[in-house]
Amino acid sequence: MSVIIDESCITCDACLQNCPVNAIVDDSNNPTGEKRYYVQPEKCVECVDLFDNPQCAAICPSIGCITWDMPFTKEFDAHFLNEEMYKLSTKDGVAKSPAFKEKKFRSDISMSKRGVKQEVQVAPSEKEIG
């Protein structure tokens, strides 16, 4: 990842429709069994090279629902393999963890903002003017 959808998801479907790489699945297809939409970290590219910001968070009506996670890079392979909040898809029985294939991430988002429930959406007062 990427980004994470938390329990405040109201299953409105907006993010799924807005993701340019089809990285999001709905609550009925959430591989973790949680009743919320789910970002597949092995597919999410943080909208790098496609949009100025993550399009899922840009459209999500539940403010704060989508937060930054660690980059999907080999450095965080164990994180994505072992944390219960993910269930990676597999190929030939091998989990598609970062060691299998890394994904793009926003290098301008510092590590201190990742994995600590930092909102992807920026409140209007925090947005840069102009």
Which residues in this chain contact ligand SF4 in the complex, by CB under 6 A? 2-3, 5, 9-15, 18-19, 21, 23-24, 37, 39, 44-47, 54-56, 59-62, 65-66
Q: Based on CB atoms, which residue is closest to ligand SF4, 31 or 129?
A: 31
Q: Based on CB atoms, which residue is closest to ligand SF4, 23 or 92?
A: 23
Least Å distance between CB 69 and ligand SF4?
10
95: β partners:
90
Helix (H) or strand (E) holding 3: strand 3-5
Q: Based on CB atoms, which residue is closest to ligand SF4, 12 or 95?
A: 12
b/e per residue 44-79 (b: at least 16 CB within 10 A) = bbbbeeeeeebbbbbbbebeebbbbbbbbeeebbeb
